[in-house]
């Protein structure tokens, strides 16, 4: 907890603007690397140790949710329960918890199980395209040239990942592709659904309740006291990393970085996550990643660079 406290307190520090920007950049890059390694750890225990992804997400969300809520309680006390006093907010939180947080995480790790951390992470990063489309539809205006170009670029990137440049043969299973695309849709909901809540309540409170409620909901089908898989030392190390670093420290680092340099730059810098996932997958798990795979991934990630600073 002292690590999380020191990261949170750094938000309040008053340094010169250049130092603050450098610090924000470093925090977001660290968060992206942590999340990339988080996916690789998930791939290892899902594929090599047979751990059930639903059980893993149940444990991760319940533990992370409790820790985040405890951290929020130390700061604002009983105000963490204010969200539940308004039926409309409570209902939105439940939808956000199940379709947003739980949905994005569960589908992401299912995509990892049937492919690899690098491919699953890249597919999930299609979500900025879906966010941009949703915003365009909501405001009933024609899509910008940036959005149109980004959509075609992203589709081309997915085509390369799925076919590896060969139309007659798929290099990615349909199951993995479907889970990856659903994770991108769920990540879109994760991005858009909590906006009204974040305008009223503390971010840590909203995400803490979101994780906890989503974990409890999933617990009904896969109770955390009924683990599935081989649980040895390496499994526990990976689980601890996924829960503590991937679920908590990475979140605080990214949040701090965004507060210091803004959401636009933060979104672009966060693309280091799929890049780090690919590098870690190749170096640690010896996952084959061809030149076509790298090109396809680059096409998808470039869309974020195009869209982040633009008004859709």
DSSP for 189-258 reads: HHHHTTHHHHTTS-HHHHHHHHHHHHHHHHHTTS-TTS--S---HHHHHHHHIIIIIIIIIHHHHHHHHH
CA distance linking residue 213 with residue 227, whole number of Å: 20
Residue 12 in domain: no
Residues 6+ apart with CB under 8 A from 61: 101, 102, 105, 211, 212, 214, 215, 218, 247
In terms of residue numbers, what domain contains 235? Answer: 19-307
Residue pLDDT, tens place only, 200-215: 998 889 989 999 999 9
Residue 169: pLDDT band by 50, 70, 90 thresholds?
A: low
Cβ atoms of 84 and 125 within 8 Å: the answer is no
Tell me the per-residue pLDDT of 70-105, one tens digit each, with 9 for 90 and over. Answer: 999 999 999 999 999 999 999 999 999 999 999 999
Q: What local confidence, expressed as pLDDT, does residue 161 receive?
A: 83
Q: Which residue has the higher pLDDT, 233 or 17?
A: 233
* 3-state SS assignment for residue 53: helix
Domain count, the chain: 1
* pLDDT for position 79: 94
Give me the pLDDT at residue 191, please: 82
Among 55-64, 153-162, 246-255, 303-312, the least confident range? 303-312
Least confident of 5-14, 44-53, 145-154, 301-310: 5-14
For the range 9-13, what are the long-range contacts, defined as Cβ-Cβ under 8 Å and sequence gap of 24 or more?
10/256, 11/256, 11/259, 11/260
Q: Is residue 8 part of a domain?
A: no
Is residue 303 in some structural domain? yes
Judge whether 148 lies within some domain: yes
Within a domain: 13: no
Q: Please report the pLDDT score of residue 166 as a whole number.
A: 67
**pLDDT of 147:** 81
Q: Check if the beta carbon of residue 157 is closer than 8 Å to that of residue 293.
A: no
- Given pLDDT bands bounded at 50, 70 and 90, which one contains residue 165? low
Q: Is residue 250 part of a domain?
A: yes
Q: What is the pLDDT of residue 76?
A: 93
- Tell me, what's the pLDDT at 215? 94
In a domain, 206, yes or no: yes
User: How confident is the model over 227-249, as a mean pLDDT?
Assistant: 91
> So what's the pLDDT on residue 9?
52
Directed axis angle between helix 203-219 and helix 87-95, to 10°? 60
């Amino acid at each position: 907890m002292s690590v999380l406290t020191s990261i949170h307190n750094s938000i309040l520090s008053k340094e010169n603007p250049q130092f603050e920007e450098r610090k924000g950049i470093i925090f977001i890059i660290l968060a992206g690397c942590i999340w990339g390694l988080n996916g690789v750890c998930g791939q290892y225990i899902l594929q090599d140790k047979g751990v059930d992804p639903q059980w893993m997400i149940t444990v991760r969300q319940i533990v992370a949710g409790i820790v985040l809520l405890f951290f929020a309680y130390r700061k604002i006390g009983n105000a963490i329960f204010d969200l539940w006093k308004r039926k409309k907010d409570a209902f939105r939180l439940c939808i956000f918890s199940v379709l947003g947080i739980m949905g994005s995480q569960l589908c992401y790790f299912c995509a990892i199980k049937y492919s690899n951390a690098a491919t699953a992470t890249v597919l999930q990063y299609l979500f900025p395209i879906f966010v941009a489309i949703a915003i365009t539809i909501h405001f009933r205006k024609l899509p910008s040239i940036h959005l149109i170009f980004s959509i075609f670029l992203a589709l081309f990137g997915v085509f390369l990942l799925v076919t590896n440049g060969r139309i007659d043969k798929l290099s990615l299973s349909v199951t993995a592709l479907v889970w990856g695309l659903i994770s991108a849709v769920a990540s879109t909901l994760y991005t858009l659904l909590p906006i009204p809540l974040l305008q009223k309540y503390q971010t840590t409170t909203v995400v803490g309740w979101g994780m906890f409620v989503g974990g409890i909901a999933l617990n009904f089908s896969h109770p955390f006291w009924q683990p599935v898989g081989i649980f040895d030392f390496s499994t526990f190390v990976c689980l601890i990393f996924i829960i503590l670093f991937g679920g908590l420290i990475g979140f605080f680092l990214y949040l701090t970085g965004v507060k210091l340099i803004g959401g636009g730059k933060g979104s672009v810098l966060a693309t280091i996550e799929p890049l780090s996932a690919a590098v870690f997958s190749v170096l640690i798990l010896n996952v084959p990643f061809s030149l076509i795979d790298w090109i396809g991934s680059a096409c998808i990630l470039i869309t974020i660079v195009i869209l982040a600073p633009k008004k859709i």
